[in-house]
Structure 1
Amino acid sequence: MTLQTEFEFRLPKGYIDSEGSLHRDGIMRLANARDEILPLEDPRVRRNEAYLLVILLARVITRLGDLRDINPGVIEKLFASDLNYLQGLYNRINGNGSSKLPVVCPHCDEKFELELEPAGES
């Protein structure tokens, strides 16, 4: 069994870069302890705790469209709905890791697990 460490996603709206290009598809990796500890020392986070999310996402998003250098400036320019989506994805993949729902077939009573894939993720 291998551990999945990278997760593809599709933003609801997308990031528009300085040339007007739209970037919606990306990859987020699992966070490590360093990703969650180092931003706490950042002066921007000390001034405003909400900025922690911006720095965390900049650290764990490895690709957004054609962009490979995802920095806080990119995350700051996301639409609010995309930021909310990415926060939810971050919490899901770095939480208990379970996106399976136990279900029972209404026809044959067989029990199985259904893998949930939230809208926008692939």
Structure 2
Amino acid sequence: MSLITEFPFTLPNGYVDAQGTLHRDGVMRLATANDEIAPMKDPRVQSNPGYLAIILLSRVVTQLGELPQVNPRVIEELFSADFAHLEALYQRINSNGHNRVRVTCPGCEKKFEVEIEESGEP
């Protein structure tokens, strides 16, 4: 079994760049210890701890549409639903090492795991 370190996603709304181009599809990689520690030195995080998520996501989102790079400004300008979507994905893949969730069938109550489809649909 090989380790999966990159996870594709589709944002519910998408990021609109300065030219009006919509970017919805992207890739997030697993975070490293340095990804979680290094932002603590950033003055924006030191003055506002809530900014940690912005810096962290800008480090692990490696691709978003056709953008040449994903930086903190891109993450700042995401719609709230897209930001929440990325935070939830970050938590799933970095806590579990995969993008699956444990569910229970409402009919037979059997428990199993399903892969989260990244369709961008709610």
Q: TM-score, normalised by structure 1?
A: 0.86
Q: Is the 8 A contact 2:9 2:118 kept in 1?
A: no
Matching residue's letter, 2:8: E
Q: Deviations over 1:78-121 (max 9, x none)?
A: 00110011000000000033525376894xxxx78432315536
Correspondence for 2:60 = 60
Gap change, CA 1:100 and 1:81, over 3 Å in 2: closer
- The reply on whether 1:32 has 2:32 as its aligned counterpart is yes
- The reply on whether 1:71 has 2:71 as its aligned counterpart is yes
Greater C-alpha radius of gyration: 1
Residue correspondences, number = 118
Greater displacement, 67-76 / 9-18: 67-76
Q: TM-score, normalised by structure 2?
A: 0.86
Identity within the alignment, %? 50
Partners of 2:96 and 2:113 in 1: CA distance: 16
- The reply on whether 1:18 has 2:18 as its aligned counterpart is yes
By how many angstroms is 1:67 displaced? 1.2
Gap change, CA 1:80 and 1:52, over 3 Å in 2: same
- Structure 1 gaps, min length 5: none
Runs of 4+ in 1 over 3 A off after TM superposition: 102-106, 111-114, 118-121
What is the root-mean-square deviation of aligned Cα atoms in Å?
2.2
Q: Is the 8 A contact 2:8 2:118 kept in 1?
A: no
Matching residue's letter, 1:41: K
